[in-house]
Structure 1
């Protein structure tokens, strides 16, 4: 009978054989194998060092580009939005810093910023849609009509756009009590916040897209709901640009959803490089072009028409008094 001691001796014998084989094999191959390993290690080390230098150089070039563009931007955009006013609308999850830096560029272009409106997460909550719809009906100003086939988000977007922008020069910059009541109503209900004087109605609008593309199951519905607002701002105002980062032009991103929508094409401009100075400069040029009726998609993402509008819009001439 084979007992436990037999198994133990057999296992020990196997391990001794393996150990002996490793020793003999290592002794025979030690020289060539070690040399080969050393050579491979040196090559990998040199390759890694070269990549590190290339990465540092690319970072320095990028920093240099941003510094040059940032320094020259004020002169490049000067006068391009003269006599215009711009309202900023932030989607839930938008980058506040992107908004602030884009607003600075817009101010350098000569525009007045009427105010900032920030949509809250509650705005996209499916459980709040009925409440949002009821509020929209209750706050609807006299003179505003909704399309018969408008969705609930289309109706809300139309109402917000009606109080935020205008095509009429006489209404630009004028505080409208009815518009203020609409914004206050949505704010008190927790659907948005605002600062500045957005009820004075701007001529142009910039929408800041969410900073990250969504992988949520409701991403398509959320982007459809958000997309209704820039379309409404286009309808009631003089031009609208949606600004985001490269991620916003990927699957699940607001800008990609807009670029994939044939109903939006030719009406709302998009810029997917708003996280860098060149992109914010492009946003101003895109807004100036939209004011002139030329709309495109700019940046580096899918379906971009190019880096910036072509031809570049000319600045509004400064009027000089005759002597």
Structure 2
């Protein structure tokens, strides 16, 4: 049986341990621990300042390179696409400045005709299903063979209409579409507010640039969560159907996306770069930046020469620029302009697709 003496000894032990802890904590241990903690805090503060300085330096170099590249744009692309017919597709008005710059650079490259095709929300919006059904009915009465419905009955109306657009831009393998039939089909899309066309109605093109807006620009904040989810799914269905058809029929194609915050973790760029089925399509980010439109045109030039790649500054980009003779040593030139030296960066030598035509 435990008696009072056991409890007394236990209490004395507890108080003795407490007293020893107080003495040590107030004396040598406090000073030692305090010094250690103060040293660690100071080290972390120094590392943070160093990282901030490195980030600002890298950001400044990126901005300098982007400005340098953008200024050289017309000279870099001059005469590289002589006589080609190119279509620039876009899915939102927020890309206007980028697409206008792309069209201007295409003209500098010698493109014979650069038509801009604006894809409208009715092509994928949940509340536009009746409009899409009417458009499909009209198309079936004109040229049913242009639709991929028989080969994949699971395709939605949005996917069918979106996949038809590359077929209308393609000059071969289109089931014998005459220019008159093409014009009629484009007119159906226009009349149902699925697309608008700036420029001469395209007959057939040698290349396509798809300029995609940032995901937040394509959302509608007024919609509830369910409708917003349906809209996002419809948009992705439309985009993947269109780009999948482009990759399949072999038209030189580039997907150029706006990537605010240098983020490519959402939107069509993530889908295309993450799916081997789109390997034939080149991609570029930074559409909203000074050098973004030029990246798009340079990637299209490489496409017409048989090359492809993923370019820009986001984490999943393969290289900063397409490795063309026109871009060889460009980063070194930018460094020289800014008073820096250094050897050429990897990726500035010509690739398989970088040779002259």
TM-score (norm 2): 0.63
Tell me the residue number matched to 1:101. Answer: 101
Q: In the alignment, does 2:275 pair up with 1:261?
A: yes
- Taking structure 1 as reference, are residues 78 and 284 closer, same or farther at Cα in structure 2, changes over 3 Å only? same
SS at 1:86 equivalent: strand
Closer, same or farther: CA 114–69 of 1 in aligned 2, 3 Å? closer
Equivalent residue of 1:243, what SS?
strand
8 Å CA contact retained: 1:154, 1:225:
yes
Deviations 1:197-256 (A, max 9, x none): 133322111111023446742434422321221232344453111111224953431211
Structure 1, residues 164-190: CA drift from partner, whole Å, max 9, x if none?
23359xx9xxx9221121121111111
Q: How many residues align?
A: 264
* 2:195 aligned residue: 192
1:16-46 deviations in Å (ceiling 9; x for gaps): xxxxxxxxxxxxxxxxxxxxxxxxxxxx9xx
Instruction: Work out the CA distance in 2 between the residues paired with 1:138 and 1:185.
Output: 7
Mapped partners of 2:133, 2:246: distance in 1: 19
Structure 2 distance, partners of 1:188, 1:200, is 18
Aligned equivalent of 1:144, options 135, 143, 146: 146
Establish whether residue 204 from structure 1 lines up as the match of residue 211 from structure 2. no
Residue segments in structure 2 that go unaligned for 5+ positions in a row = 1-44, 220-227, 324-350
Cα distance change on mapping 1:121 and 1:145 into 2, 3 Å: closer
Aligned equivalent of 1:159: 164
Q: Deviations over 1:257-316 (max 9, x none)?
A: 22223322x122111122234332221221122223322221122422211223262454
Following superposition of structure 1 onto structure 2, how do residues 34-183 of structure 1 map, counting pairs within 5 Å?
A: 64-92=64-92, 94-140=94-140, 142=143, 144=146, 146=148, 148-149=151-152, 151=155, 152-166=157-171, 176-183=179-186
Tell me the SS of whatever aligns to 2:307.
coil
CA separation of 1:203/1:276 partners in 2, compared to 1, >3 Å: closer, same or farther?
same
Q: Is this contact kept in 2: 1:136–1:159, CA < 8 A? A: no
Q: Residues 95 and 210 of structure 1 are in contact (CA less than 8 Å); yes or no, is this contact kept in structure 2?
A: yes
CA contact (8 A) 2:147 2:160 kept: no
1:85 deviation in Å?
A: 1.1
CA offsets 1:38-72 (integer angstroms, 9 cap, x no match): xxxxxx9xx99xx89x96x8887666544432332
1:234-313 matched pairs, under 5 angstroms: 234-236=247-249, 238-247=251-260, 250-264=264-278, 266-310=279-323, 311=351, 313=354
Q: Is there any run of 5+ residues in structure 1 with no aligned partner, and where?
A: 1-43, 317-323
Offset from partner CA, 1:69-99 (integer Å, 9 cap, x none): 2332222112221221101111135411110
- Cα separation, 1, equivalents of 2:105 and 2:160: 31
Conserved? CA contact 1:92–1:210, under 8 Å: yes
- CA RMSD, 1 decimal: 3.4
- Contact 2:122-2:132 within 8 A present in 1 as well: no
Native 8 Å contact 2:124 2:238 kept in 1: yes
Is this contact kept in 1: 2:106–2:114, CA < 8 A? no
Distance 1:291 1:137 in 2: 36
